[in-house]
């Protein structure tokens, strides 16, 4: 069982940066690949980024590639999403999720956080 808690969301202007954190409970965090997803009002939940259990392999949606960076600190049971050059279209609730292997499919993840709101004004 893994419990996930996101933080770091907020209201920013276009071009600004934010860093989201996802803190996990449990001693098995290092066994899990982690994913970041987002959901805007009226839209499907979409893949943003993922990172392997050891942190050596990362994956990004084309819409955020070059602007967002995922990382993790297994000693702190935390995964991060550094978001730079934010755009209004990045506005959404951002969720972290865990499963045993990387995936871009939200339905394949076993554990989810409650989400954190990111709002980017133009």
In tens, the pLDDT along 63-118 reads 999 999 999 999 999 999 999 999 999 999 999 999 999 999 999 999 999 999 99
Overall average pLDDT of the 38-56 stretch? 96
Collect contacts of 57-64 with beta carbons under 8 A, ≥24 apart.
Answer: 57/102, 59/102, 59/104, 61/104, 63/89, 64/90
Residue 27 confidence (pLDDT) above 80: no
The pLDDT score that the predictor gives to residue 26 is: 78
In the chain, the N- to C-terminal Cα span, in Å, equals 40
Overall average pLDDT of the 45-59 stretch? 97
- Residues comprising the chain, all counted: 122
């Amino acid at each position: 069982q893994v419990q996930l808690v996101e933080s770091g969301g907020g209201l920013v202007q276009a071009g600004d940066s934010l860093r989201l954190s996802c803190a996990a409970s449990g001693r098995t965090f290092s066994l899990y690949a982690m994913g970041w997803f987002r959901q805007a009002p009226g839209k499907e939940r979409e893949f943003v980024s993922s990172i392997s259990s050891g942190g050596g392999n990362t994956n990004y949606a084309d819409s955020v590639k070059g602007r967002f960076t995922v990382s993790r600190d297994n000693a702190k049971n935390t995964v991060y999403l550094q978001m730079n050059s934010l755009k209004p279209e990045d506005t959404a609730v951002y969720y972290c999720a865990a499963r045993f292997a990387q995936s871009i499919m939200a339905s394949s993840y076993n554990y989810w956080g409650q989400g954190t709101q990111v709002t980017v004004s133009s």
